[in-house]
Amino acid sequence: MGVRATQRLKRRLVTALELPKDVALGLPVTTMMGNEEVFVSNHKGLLEYGAGHIRLATAVGKIKIFGSNMILKEITAESVSIKGRVEKIIWEA
């Protein structure tokens, strides 16, 4: 059984059992506080911290957060808290 097939089976099982997907599949959870704060948990690392954007790796792709005056309020192995004026969030497959 290949990796993709295993993943598919795992996903089906999690859906059938109604398990929390962030815990069971490691899917990222993105929480926004207005346009002032973004909290991303289950990230896989910081890919880019540019002048007007921050890019993070996740289990399902990359998340790109655009904005100004953005600071990494806290970054740990599990979560990132970004503070600043958030303008746009894009998921890259």
Partner 1 sequence: MFIKIWYFFTGYVRIEIAGFSVERFISQATAKGVVFWNMQRNGAKFVAYITKKDFAHSKEISQKTGTKVEAAAVFGLPYILARLKKRLFLFLGGLAFAASMLLLTSFVWRIDIIGTDRLDDGEIITFLEQNGLTFGSFRRNIAYRDIESALILEFLDIAHVSLNITGTRATISIAESILVAETLDTSLPADIVAAKDAVIVYMATTAGQPLLRPGDVVAAGEVIVAGELVLGSAEEGNLSHAHTHAVSEVWGRVYYAMHFEIPLTYFEKTFTNRVSRGYTIHVGNGSFNLPRIFGVSQDEFLYSVTTENRWQLGLGANLPLPFVRTTTTHYELVRHLRTRSTDAAKDLAIELANRRIDEELGINADIIDKQIIFTENERALMAEVFLIVIERIDLAKPIEMGTYDE
Q: Which residues bind partner 1 (CB under 8 A)?
A: 45-51, 57, 71-77
Nearest approach, Cβ of residue 23 and partner 1 (Å) = 19
Identify which of residues 1 and 77 has a Cβ nearer to partner 1 in the complex: 77
Cα dihedral 60, 26, 31, 49 sign = negative
Identify which of residues 47 and 89 has a Cβ nearer to partner 1 in the complex: 47
How far are the Cα atoms of 11, 55, 62 from residue 92, in angstroms, in the given order?
21, 10, 5
Identify which of residues 36 and 74 has a Cβ nearer to partner 1 in the complex: 74
User: DSSP code of 78?
Assistant: S
For 32, counting Cβ atoms within 10 Å of its Cβ (0-12 exposed, 13-18 middle, 19+ buried), the class is: middle
Nearest approach, Cβ of residue 11 and partner 1 (Å) = 25
Nearest approach, Cβ of residue 28 and partner 1 (Å) = 15
